[in-house]
Amino acid sequence: MRNEKHYKGWNEIKTNDSWALFKIMGEFVNGYEKMSAIGPCVSIFGSARSKEDNEYYQLAVSIAQKIAEAGYGVITGGGPGIMEAGNRGAKLAGGTSVGLNIDLPFEQHDNPYIDSDKSLDFDYFFVRKVMFVKYSQGFVVMPGGFGTLDELFEAITLIQTHKIEKFPIILVGSEFWGGLVDWVKATMLKAGNISPEDLNLITIADNEDEVVDIINSFYKGHQLSPNF
């Protein structure tokens, strides 16, 4: 009897997993349809916990404004903190402001600076991450936590392994990111776990002009298009 009950429960899990595929497919279809119509964008990542008086919140607003003025849309995770700052800067410049929202038990809620027709909701992190990578012409990575690091290293890995085309990955804040980059050089590179040329996949910047110059310089020799 116990084995029969366990087997029944296992079958229910398998059935639920199968039906979840349709929900996943729906998120991909909706995301592709909406994002493909938006045009070239740059994604801004960073901590959801940064307040309005935080120096990096204020810098993210300036960076996003400058990016929008340069003709790119701005994509964020749609929530508070640095994400809000990114959408806010795009809005100030009259540019395209996109939010890819995720349903979380804490921290996440839509910010008011997303264009009403460019707010997308996701249940699955991996679907959301595909949208960031496919439709971003660059990643601007502000100081953040584990989620920010997740986005950063996934993008680096995909470019390193030639799964997607190269695009600019810019770490903003040498004081914040310098220790990580030093560790990568002194530990990972020294151990032979990465190649010297892998270090060229990231660039550190400290202000909005540097960020936009890096992006514009890159696209003087590359086409603006989805990354895969």
pLDDT of residue 19: 86
| Top CATH class, 2-218 | alpha beta
pLDDT of residue 17: 81
pLDDT in tens, the chain (228 residues): 556 655 555 566 566 788 889 999 999 999 999 999 999 999 999 999 999 999 999 999 999 999 999 999 999 999 999 999 999 999 999 999 999 999 776 655 789 999 999 999 999 999 999 999 999 999 999 999 999 999 999 999 999 999 999 999 999 999 999 999 999 999 999 999 999 999 999 999 999 999 999 999 999 988 899 998
Distance linking the first and last C-alpha atoms of the chain: 51
How many DSSP H helices and E strands does the chain contain?
Answer: 7, 7
Q: What are the extents of the domains in the chain?
A: 2-218
pLDDT of residue 16: 76
Kindly give the interhelix angle for 125-135 and 2-35, rounded to the nearest 10 degrees: 20
Which residues touch 220 (CB under 8 Å, ≥6 apart)? none
C-alpha to C-alpha distance for 17 and 6, rounded to whole angstroms: 17
C-alpha to C-alpha distance for 95 and 115, rounded to whole angstroms: 9
pLDDT of residue 109: 75
Q: Which residues of 86-98 are buried (b: 16+ CB within 10 A; e: fewer)?
A: bbbbbbbbebbbb
